[in-house]
Amino acid sequence: MSALSELLTNANTDGWSYELIAEKAQARGHRLSRDTAWRYMTGRQAKTSPDQLRALADVLGLRYDKVSRAAGQPADLGPYEPPREANALTQQEREALNLIIRALVRGRGPEPVPAVETHHKPIRRAAREARPDTPLTGPDEPTP
């Protein structure tokens, strides 16, 4: 049993079935299936989703940060706000930065992140288009 499944099971003091947990989550506006509840509660969930963790925390009366920590997730810092200097970025630079952010968080769970090629070439290409006057070097490009 994982730390997460142990926490969830111990919080289920009324002995609710997986189906009832899912129904309660759905009634509160969350998307959680019976099978997903079963996987989390029994320690069989390979990847965790912040949305699913929030649903389980809500239904079982737990604080999200406690559930998230038990799942090994990084602390939820809330919405990301770039520094003020980011206002000086062009649209292309902003798009390049968005690609980098998506590549960093991809694979952390089934969050609604659009599919983005994470190989360095598309990111490098976007950065090059954003700042064509800045030389970029990497493992596939010779140093100028």
DSSP, residue by residue, 31-81:
---HHHHHHHHHT--SS--HHHHHHHHHHHT--HHHHHHHTTPPP---S--
Structural domains in the chain (count): 2
What's residue 135's pLDDT? 57
Within a domain: 97: yes
Within a domain: 140: no
User: Domain check: are 97 and 123 in the same one?
Assistant: yes
Within a domain: 27: yes
| pTM for this prediction | 0.58
Q: Residue 142 burial (CB < 10 Å; 0-12/13-18/19+)?
A: exposed
| pLDDT (average), residues 66-95 | 88
What's residue 78's pLDDT? 77
User: Domain check: are 60 and 93 in the same one?
Assistant: no
User: Domain check: are 27 and 56 in the same one?
Assistant: yes
Residue 15 belongs to domain spanning: 3-70
User: Domain check: are 48 and 7 in the same one?
Assistant: yes
Tens digits of per-residue pLDDT, 55-69? 999 999 999 989 998
Tens digits of per-residue pLDDT, 14-71? 999 999 999 999 999 999 999 999 999 999 987 888 899 999 999 999 999 899 989 9
Within a domain: 76: no
User: Domain check: are 63 and 119 in the same one?
Assistant: no
Tens digits of per-residue pLDDT, 110-131? 444 444 444 445 555 666 666 6
What's residue 74's pLDDT? 75
The structure tokens 């609710």 sit at 16
